């Protein structure tokens, strides 16, 4: 989850329900760390250890700091709070888990780009249910086609940083199929 989801009540609820989470904190977020006296806090940005126990609003979780390398988009590392123990997820696995959220943002960007889609107000619950039923059916069809769309030689040779999102990959595959002639004449 992004920084705006670091809501103590939400995180406590997820933890109580045994749902793992990884949430990014703002650098100025106060957290308790083992080397500071109890009931005193440091900001997440002051924590230089890559993986350390931390207390956030009375809950003992784990604070993970990403590396900061030249050429990164952000001028500060990620400060991630998680309830996943080290025995369940290593630091690198938690960082990769958080990085997957960017795929979701790419997906939404692709939908807006492809369809110029905007949410419209729906006034009846039945209308919303019907729309979402067709949306989920469409997703199911697209997921079935994903394996076929990524089977091309060109897709396999693409550098990972230049690969399209899965949604756009499928969309372009369907566009190629749509434009392909059904019958070839010689």
pLDDT in tens, 135-182: 877 777 777 766 665 665 555 566 666 677 767 777 777 777 777 766
How many distinct structural domains can be found in the chain?
A: 2
Q: Are residues 9 and 92 in the same domain?
A: yes
Q: Is residue 184 part of a domain?
A: no
Where among 65, 99, 133 does a domain terminate?
99
Q: Are residues 75 and 146 in the same domain?
A: no
The model's pTM: 0.57
Residue 105 to residue 109: CA distance in whole angstroms: 6
Torsion of CA 56, 82, 110, 161, to 10 degrees: 120
Domain span holding position 130: 102-179
Question: Is the predicted pLDDT of residue 70 greater than 70, yes or no?
Answer: no
Decide which of 35 and 181 is more confident.
35
Residues 6+ apart with CB under 8 A from 25: 3, 6, 31, 44, 63, 79, 80, 81
Where among 99, 114, 138 does a domain terminate?
99
Beta bridge partners of 46: none
Where among 99, 116, 142 does a domain terminate?
99
As a whole number, mean pLDDT of residues 49-65 equals 91
Lookup: tokens for 132: 């979402």
């Amino acid at each position: 989850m992004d920084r705006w989801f670091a809501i103590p009540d939400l995180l406590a609820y997820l933890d109580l329900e045994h749902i793992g989470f990884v949430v990014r904190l703002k650098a100025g977020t106060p957290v308790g760390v083992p080397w500071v006296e109890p009931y005193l806090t440091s900001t997440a940005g002051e924590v230089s250890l890559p993986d350390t126990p931390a207390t956030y609003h009375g809950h003992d979780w784990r604070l993970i700091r990403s590396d900061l390398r030249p050429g990164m988009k952000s001028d500060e590392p990620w400060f991630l709070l998680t309830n996943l123990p080290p025995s369940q997820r290593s630091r690198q696995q938690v960082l990769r888990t958080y990085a997957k959220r960017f795929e979701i943002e790419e997906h939404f960007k692709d939908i807006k780009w492809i369809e110029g889609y905007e949410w419209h107000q729906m006034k009846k619950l039945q209308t919303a249910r019907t729309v979402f039923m067709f949306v989920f059916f469409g997703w199911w069809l697209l997921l079935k086609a994903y394996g076929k769309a990524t089977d091309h030689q060109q897709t396999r040779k693409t550098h990972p940083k230049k690969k399209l999102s899965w949604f756009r990959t499928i969309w372009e595959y369907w566009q190629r199929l749509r434009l392909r002639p059904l019958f070839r004449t010689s």
